[in-house]
Amino acid sequence: FGTINAMIAAGYSHPLADYQTSGGSAIGQQAKTGDLRIIVQQNLKSNFFATIQGGYFLKSNPTPNAFSSSVKIGYAGKIYADVWFETLQAIGGTDYRGVGDLDPANFGGFTSLGFSYNKIGGTVFYPITNHIGTFGGFSYVLSGRNAFKNTGMNIGIVFQ
């Protein structure tokens, strides 16, 4: 029937550029973030898999901390393909309220916003040789707090 694997993952992110935080796509909010996740994956003998994960994001002030969870199903054989759903929910934070007296600069700036979303996406990876592959992916924000509904796309080459 396959195997079930569980693991804990941790990470850290730090902004590499001084990007604008006033747009609806500036989800990082210039925050330094520690990330801790629990991941459980069911691998089937047919090369299909299903993954669930939950995590907590400890962010630098004034950006509020957040938690996330996701579910992913996919296939990992000659090619790799997956589809996923992710939710990220800020714990507190302020809401974007507009201009003038309601301008974000008057309540701590855009970095203090509580940013949350529900997002879907997918990825396809195809190996060209034993050491080179190519991938493409997409995502779409279905709904969110202080987030624009938008589409993301990525393509790339992987060298091993």
pLDDT for 98 equals: 59
Residue 132 has pLDDT above 80, yes or no: yes
Amino acid in the structure at residue 45: K
Q: What is the full DSSP assignment across 83-126?
A: EEEEEEEESS-B----SGGG-GGGGT-GGGB--EEEEEEEEEEE
Task: Please give the pLDDT value at position 106.
Answer: 60
Per residue in 99-130, pLDDT tens?
555 565 665 666 677 788 999 999 999 999 99
Q: Give residue-wise pLDDT tens across range 16-37.
A: 777 666 655 555 567 888 999 9
Amino acid, res. 105: A
User: What is the mean pLDDT of the segment spanning 6-17?
Assistant: 89
81 vs 33: which has the higher pLDDT:
81
Mean pLDDT of the chain: 86
Q: Is 128 exposed, middle or buried (0-12, 13-18, 19+ CB in 10 A)?
A: exposed
d(CA 61, CA 150): 26
Q: How confident is the model at residue 83 (pLDDT cuts 50, 70, 90)?
A: very high
Distance of CA 30 to the CA centre of its chain: 15
